[in-house]
Amino acid sequence: MANYGVRVQRGYVAESPEEAVEKSKQLLSEGASELVIKSQIHAGGRGKGVFRETGFKGGVKITSDPNKVGEFAKEMLGNHLITKQTPPEGQKVRKVLVHEGLQFGGADEKYFAIVMDRNTKGPALLVSPQGGVDIEEVAESNPNAIKKIPINFTEGITDAQAVEAASFLGFDADQSLLADGAEQIKGLYKLFAAVDATQVEINPLVKASNGKIYCIDSKINFDDNAAFRQKAIFAQRDTSMEDPRDVQASEYGLNYVGLDGNIGCLVNGAGLAMATLDVIKLHGGNAANFLDVGGGATAQMVEQAFKLITSDPKVKAIMVNIFGGIMKCDVIAEGIVTAAKNLDLKIPLIVRLEGTNVTRGLELLKESGLAITPAQSLDEAAEKAVQAVNKM
């Protein structure tokens, strides 16, 4: 943000209590009067979180004493912080952010976002003078407190639109504040366009006690398709904060999400995958995962998908549901057979194939000599998968 003229708090990342103390002293020498230390994990609600190992409360702390920062860092680093957004076991804190504190009142907290709008087929500003709270609650209780300003992506944001947004946010008390608000908004839009963002959300955007406007908390989503153009940004991905299976899946171009059930699913297409999960539920079962191999999967990708599914000890049966279009059923069948043999698969495997080269695909499954249960429809496949699990 700072690279695009957006005003943010000065801060530094530390990986040890000693480094946190050092960075705190540096901030004080640069003019900071208050220090904030934050646990760096991929979850919200850190301030109200609790550390699993010690019971220490709060993943965000405020002080003006560098030694206190060191003490807080010692409590945080190396321990697992549990918040309302983490898994039950929490997430391990490997780094902390130490930054300057700012003074501002609740009335000074505003909401600002740039999102992609389906209706206008382009970006739009979403602004509200009611910031610091869930914008969904504002939308429900007081929709007139939110304003949408569509932006022409080719032309970019205009001065008039930036002033309109800043004024609606309440930065029109005087001309200098209004001008500062408009400049900050233009800087945020410049960031949005330059980094291939799909969303830039600031909550809150505040007028601090020093009279200047700051972005206090933010969330930015980036277009995965622009990774080749945004290498510096995507290089910052911290895979230690992610499920190892999700990371492995992304390396092979697979879309994987672990769930709580015991029927592993391998499907092509996100919509078909969701329908498969629903039909399994309809027949009394629960899926162990969402796994979409996409429309251009190879036999090698299918084998990797099987490895992901079987890495979950809860999986008691695997259900494959493939509708061949661009993807050919015989290629999928080849991958299924190879995976089942290489992994020495012992759990029930139910396969439903339909579409391009389905006859040859079914022949390959039959010729394999493996204990593969075929199904003619999604309903039949789900029913057989649930029955297989219930027999165990």
Reading the block at residue 246, the tokens are: 């999700």
Output DSSP code: residue 156: -
Strand partners, 79: none
Task: Write down the architecture of domain 106-233 according to CATH.
Answer: 2-Layer Sandwich (3.30)
Dump the DSSP string for 340-351: HHHTT--S-EEE
| Domain spans in the chain, listed from the N-terminal domain onward | 9-100, 106-233, 244-390
CB atoms within 10 A of CB 152: 12
Task: Write down the architecture of domain 9-100 according to CATH.
Answer: 2-Layer Sandwich (3.30)
**Hey, which residues are catalytic here?**
111, 201
Contact (CB, 8 A) for 122 and 152 = yes
Residues of the chain where predicted confidence (pLDDT) is lower than 70: 295, 297
Neighbouring residues of 53: CB distance < 8 A, sequence distance ≥ 6:
79, 80
Handedness of CA 137, 143, 146, 152 (dihedral sign): positive
Strand partners, 365: none
Confidence (pLDDT) at 169: 96
Instruction: Please name which of 115, 110, 116 lies closest in space to residue 166, comparing C-alpha atoms.
Output: 110
Q: With respect to CATH, is domain 244-390 assigned 3.40.50.261? A: yes
Instruction: Please name which of 38, 37, 52 lies closest in space to residue 83, comparing C-alpha atoms.
Output: 52
Output the pTM of the full model.
Answer: 0.75
